[in-house]
Structure 1
């Protein structure tokens, strides 16, 4: 596949319809994607990563009670007027501004799995390749995870997923790839994918490379998802649909050069908050001193 024949990735799907039950009661009235990591909601980090990678259109697959996510990226006239009248800079709000027409929402009325959530965006995706961001997976790196993936995609095309290497005893908690060869010219970060296995037994896992919440897929995956075939847990699984595309289109994994925080768990959420606060120039030293005081108390 030549670079001239590779369509650019302009659209991204953010499945944000989940109930966030692991964070109750905090998420009873607030979407889990709006919980703050330091001073930005979790969804903002994913959107910033998408924009860095050149994504133009953001597609939120939402459910009941998720309006706060959309409102976060809307213009807050009263807030901006008040801040301006008090001579406060609006720079802090700049990341929340979305170009008119570039934010689309579609509804997932019934929670039937990740594959179903992605399928709900099929009319907006059309015949274009698209990215997927799972906001629970906070990926921190320079450049960001999706930008690393787009750079690889522009060379090889097809379908790509981000992966991370984990200790083998942890593989049974994740989707795992069956690796093939490593194309030249990518410093070993690109791996051909010959199969996908969801939560394998440790002794049966084909590798210790886990799928880590970022995808670039071709629109043909929607045709596979049209069948509404249910997999693990009685849900429509994206992993199953991707597995059926292996062998019909190029399929690669990009090993992310950066840090992943599992913000779908309480411990991972706290770890991310502490790590990002420590990395901040405006508060890092104070946070470090505070942590030491708490540890020594």
Structure 2
């Protein structure tokens, strides 16, 4: 006999954040030539590809289904989250059970991932729109895969807690130095209650003198499904692309938008220095290899200092 949800149960179910969109179709031009033949999302951050950290963050937050919006030459992402029968058999034969356990621990549940193709590079808004049929009429998360966030609990976990309290749309933010606000998307606060900020607007890379705050948009969002209708008719904006921020600004006229100043630190792996910072930080914080990584870095710095004298 089929279980039938009551109306209140259906409303609760439809208001839960169960799905996440990861736009992975970008070319990674800021870190060329490393990404000429390797997707930027598959560049290693110490002992696993960058995309694995983002997926782990999503699943830790309770996400049940991830939609990857891919492009050409991104098949290695699909392969990474599939089973590697020959590799697993080899590890089992060589009794390397610790490595095998690591692989199995991060293997997604069957059916928990979908892959859709963004056939033309028309911007982040268009990439999110490509996931519309899989997301359906539900609130959903967006995680930019070239932004890694170190946080406990995870950034998305903190956001979902804020969403469950306030509803609406949630954007993760963090403070940046005032003299660097012209490098980021910056929110305009309206009111504040602890870490949750009601938003009045957002500005992309404002001048230092005109910035409404120093709270930068991090690359984590929880959005209502009405954003898809706006993206369907969204004219091209900056760079000739369909911008997600333009659609959010329109949605803000009719729906609540909140920013969460989360506890944690972000790393822009789409830039070479951001990638280096992420690699070093994750190496230093590694549960088993942290001390060895620290010793290696000290030795390299000492050698470099000695050679400079």
Determine the structure 2 residue equivalent to 1:261: 267
Instruction: Say whether 1:287 aligns with 2:293.
Output: yes
Q: Which residue of 2 aligns with 1:165?
A: 175
Describe the superposition over 1:8-36 as per-residue Cα deviations: whole angstroms up to 9, x where unpaired: 00100000001112222221221110011
Aligned equivalent of 2:211, options 195, 205, 224: 205
CA-based RMSD of the aligned residues comes to 1.6
Question: Who wins on radius of gyration, i.e. which is larger?
Answer: 2
Structure 1 regions of 5+ residues with no counterpart?
Answer: none
1:270 lines up with 2:294 in the alignment: no
1:189 corresponds in structure 2 to: 195
Whether contact under 8 Å (1:74, 1:96) holds in the other structure is no
**Cα contact 1:48–1:95 (8 A) shared by 2:** no
Mapping of residues 1-297 of structure 1, within 5 Å: 7-89=15-97, 90-183=100-193, 188-297=194-303
> Whole-Å Cα distance in 2 between the matches of residues 229 and 95 of structure 1?
43
Contact 2:227 2:247 in 1 (8 A): yes
Number of aligned positions between the proteins? 292
CA distance in 1, matches of 2:201, 2:280: 36
Moved beyond 3 Å, runs of 4+ = 2-6
Q: Secondary structure at the match of 1:180?
A: strand
Deviation at 1:95, TM superposition (A): 4.2
TM-score, length basis structure 1: 0.95
TM-score, L = length of structure 2: 0.91
1:95 & 1:53 partners in 2: Cα distance?
16
Please give the per-residue CA displacement for 1:137-178, whole angstroms capped at 9, x wherever unaligned.
110110000000001101111100000001111111111111
Q: Matched residues in 1 for 2:136 and 2:289: separation?
A: 45
198-207 or 78-87: which moved more? Answer: 78-87
